[in-house]
């Protein structure tokens, strides 16, 4: 895991600041850093988004493939997650160094996103029991400066929003054999409802208080954090405690409340931004990494 070395004096400085609701970079405890979102950055994916949160940078690409539905749920499609902690983010990830973190994040992503309450999985079904869409959600960590979960979840939501799945229909021939036919019109595609897709808010317990969107330094001062996924209505769909330390029930409760508040407030501007970008259409050139 990408970590920062923090001296004792620095630690005290950070702790004291947070106690006063004033963080090193000037934010309050429930403030996010500057966030940039851009969708459709990788043209050969069906949906993609790039999110930068402070120095943390995440790129998500979604590819839709036709697969077979899971036997237990024949009328639903499903999502697959893969998190690539590349060596670009930090030399520690070189070789197999990033695998552990990648698996940890992707397991959480499965829990948060791969259920019918978050994504309308039934709309991904093509013919029950035979064909369905499988969305491969690939997360690429480009730079780590803390709060990977939040950045990743926002990027996934944005990427899902921008995903265009080609429209298909099933034709049946005389012998009853089924054939999948792709629509001839490249503009004819299916979109994914992202309204109910939750965002993850990570709260770090620092001293007696907790902060959202912790930087690496702040994280180094924290003993444990809580991950909460929240929908636009403020419903909590998943919580998880991560990190080595322990939390008392009271602060878990407090942190959940704070998470709900922050998470709920995150959705509206995000959707507004995404819709604005969509309305610009293809006329404005993509900035990508060149900006």
Query: Which residues here bind another protein, judged by CB under 8 A?
Result: 42-46, 48, 55, 57, 59, 61-66, 82, 84, 86-88, 90-91, 94-96, 136, 138, 140, 142-145, 166, 171, 173-175, 177, 179-182, 184-187, 288-291
Nearer of residues 179 and 250 to another protein, judged by Cβ: 179
> Minimal distance in Å, beta carbon 172 to another protein?
10
Nearer of residues 131 and 205 to another protein, judged by Cβ: 131
Nearer of residues 116 and 178 to another protein, judged by Cβ: 178
> Minimal distance in Å, beta carbon 236 to another protein?
30
> Minimal distance in Å, beta carbon 234 to another protein?
32
> Minimal distance in Å, beta carbon 32 to another protein?
18
Please tell me the distance from the alpha carbon of residue 173 to that of residue 184, in angstroms, as a whole number.
19
Nearer of residues 187 and 208 to another protein, judged by Cβ: 187
> Minimal distance in Å, beta carbon 182 to another protein?
6
Nearer of residues 54 and 263 to another protein, judged by Cβ: 54
């Amino acid at each position: 895991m990408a970590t920062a070395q923090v001296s004792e004096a620095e630690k005290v400085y950070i702790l004291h600041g947070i106690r006063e609701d004033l963080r090193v970079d000037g934010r309050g405890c429930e403030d996010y850093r500057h966030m940039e979102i851009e969708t459709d950055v990788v043209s050969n994916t069906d949906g993609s988004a790039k999110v930068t949160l402070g120095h943390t940078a995440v790129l998500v690409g979604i590819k839709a493939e036709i697969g077979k539905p899971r036997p237990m749920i024949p009328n639903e499609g499903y999502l697959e997650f893969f998190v690539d902690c590349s060596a670009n983010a930090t030399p520690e990830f070189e070789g197999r160094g990033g695998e552990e973190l990648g698996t940890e994040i992707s397991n959480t992503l499965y829990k948060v996103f791969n259920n019918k309450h978050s994504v309308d999985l039934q709309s991904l079904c093509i013919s029950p029991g035979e064909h369905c869409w499988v969305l491969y959600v690939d997360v690429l960590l480009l730079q780590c400066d803390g709060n990977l979960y939040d950045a990743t979840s926002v990027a996934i939501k944005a990427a899902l929003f921008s995903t265009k799945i080609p429209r298909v229909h099933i034709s049946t021939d005389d012998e009853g054999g089924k054939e999948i036919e792709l629509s001839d019109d490249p503009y004819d595609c299916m979109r994914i409802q992202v309204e109910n897709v939750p965002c993850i808010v990570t709260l770090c317990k620092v001293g007696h208080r907790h902060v959202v969107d912790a930087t690496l330094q702040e994280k180094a001062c924290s003993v444990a954090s809580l991950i909460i996924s929240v929908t636009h209505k403020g419903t909590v769909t998943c919580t998880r405690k991560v990190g080595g330390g322990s939390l008392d029930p009271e602060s878990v409760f407090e942190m959940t409340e704070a998470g709900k508040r922050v998470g709920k407030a995150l959705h509206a501007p995000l959707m507004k931004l995404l819709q604005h970008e969509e309305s610009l259409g293809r006329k404005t050139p993509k900035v990508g990494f060149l900006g």
